Amino acid sequence: MTDILAAIADIFTSPTMYSSAVRLGGFLAFAALGELVAEKAGTINISVEGSLLAGAFAGAVGYDMTGSTWVGLLFGVVGGLLVGLIQANMSHRLSADQFIVGITANILVVGFVGFLNGVLNPAARRASIIEIPILSNIPLIGPALFGQTWPTYILYPLIPLTWWGLYKTRWGLEVRAVGENPQAADVSGIDVNKRRRQAIYYGAMLAGLGGAFLVVGQVGSFDTGMVGGRGFIAIAAVYFGGWRLKGMLFGALLFGFADAFRLTMPVLGYRLNAHMMAAFPYVLTLIVMYFVTKEFRQPAALSRPFVRGLR
């Protein structure tokens, strides 16, 4: 028992653990931040996984074509948006079932990206690390938060900007209104399905940016299996946070810690069953979903399609 406690203490006092948690949690936060906006509008964007993968591939292609990390990130945004266009217009213009559309879009992206990757085989490279003076010297959390590759820092202003857009603008008020009472919003003159489509576009662009960040900000190469179901964990992070920004960020960081724990153990010389550790973040997701989501109230019209005149 003493050895187990010593091993846990060793892992949780390792700078590697915290740096990995911020990288992995940051990747989830890009997608979860956009998903929060989509769900506030009353829609569950199941195609987050596809937007992440499309963004990752497009980011690799953009970097391969130009050698620019900025272009790679921009390509990632466009790649994610293309998936969002499918989700938004099929679900909220043609009134197709949003869950079926999302699952189909994810499968489509996996097949399409797999084909294109075999043809193009894009090469990418990890962005340089920028350490912020003084702040990066804080023990444990300093290097983790302020000693990362520079695309990581894009997330930091995105958080308050998203909060401002969602809670301090007329657009954000309308987005939240169509997620709570779409019939009342419609009577007030708000185009319900238009706002829902816009919320999905925003979420898809952030997910695409997150996918590109994974390639050029973390790994430095592209692989068709690199997203690995984390789009669904990003959705779970929104539920974990009770549809609140602070809670969502904490959820993304928690799942990032779970993934970092798995990766840090072998680095420090500890060995556990590899398959069990690979499943750990997903098991944690299921446990959290079971216990936490009972405590919060979701947007009243979440996942309910809107048809004018119907309640």
pTM above 0.75, yes or no: yes
Q: What is the pLDDT of residues 96-144, one digit of tens each?
A: 889 999 999 999 999 999 999 999 999 999 999 999 888 888 887 888 8
Residue 78 falls inside a structural domain: yes
Mean pLDDT over 283-288 rounds to: 74
195 lies in some domain: yes
Q: Would you tell me the crossing angle of helices 48-66 and 230-240 to the nearest 10 degrees? A: 130
In a domain, 256, yes or no: no
Q: Does residue 290 sit within a domain?
A: no
**Residue 261 counted as domain residue:** no
State which residues form the domain around 134: 15-229
Per-residue pLDDT at 267: 64
Is 40:202 a contact under the CB 8 Å cutoff? Answer: no
Residue 116, in any domain of the structure: yes
pLDDT of residue 297: 74
204: in domain: yes
Instruction: Give the pLDDT band of residue 83 (cuts 50, 70, 90).
Output: very high
CA distance 33 to 238: 8
What is the number of structural domains in the chain? Answer: 1
Dihedral Cα 76, 81, 86, 87, nearest 10 deg = 110
Residue 197 belongs to a domain: yes
pLDDT in tens, 162-220: 999 999 999 999 999 999 999 999 999 999 999 999 999 999 999 999 999 999 999 99
Tokens of 181: 């009472």
> What is the structure's pLDDT at 8?
64
Q: Which two tokens stand for residue 182?
A: 């779409």
